[in-house]
Amino acid sequence: MADEPQDETLSIQIANQIINVANARLKDGIAADEIAAGLRHAAANFSAYAASVSEDRHDPNALVEEFVRFLEFYLTRHESQQTPGTGLHQLIKQVKEEF
């Protein structure tokens, strides 16, 4: 993804607040995979709610594509910190091919 999200946007500020909660849960000893699953669940739930109350109709495929773009962007950012598993990259490739 060529365009890095800008820190000054409201959505990034909200995301950072949510990540702070996730980091606090990590300090509580909760596994990162469990926290990530909870975040995905919450993101899907709230995204569906937002789409249902929005005057603009949102294509669910566009939401999935946006999520995949964000995931790929952040995977690239975190690659320098640790080697990612091949399973996750395969899953992203599969999701892209299906949508």
pLDDT surpassing 50 at residue 1: no
User: Do 35 and 79 sit in the same domain of this protein?
Assistant: no
Read off the pLDDT of residues 33-85 as tens digits, 9 standing for 90 and up: 999 999 999 999 999 999 889 888 878 888 899 999 999 998 998 886 665 45
User: Do 10 and 37 sit in the same domain of this protein?
Assistant: yes
User: Do 51 and 68 sit in the same domain of this protein?
Assistant: no
pLDDT surpassing 70 at residue 32: yes
Say how far residue 10 (Cα) sits from the centre of its chain.
16
Which residue range(s) make up the domain with 96? 59-99
User: Do 51 and 9 sit in the same domain of this protein?
Assistant: yes
What is the b/e burial string over 48-83, where b = at least 16 CB atoms within 10 angstroms of the residue's CB?
A: eeeeeeeeeeeeeeebbeeebeebeeeeeeeeeeee
Q: Has this prediction a pTM greater than 0.75?
A: no
pLDDT surpassing 60 at residue 2: no
Total domains in the chain come to 2
Q: How high is the pLDDT of residue 83?
A: 55
User: Do 36 and 69 sit in the same domain of this protein?
Assistant: no
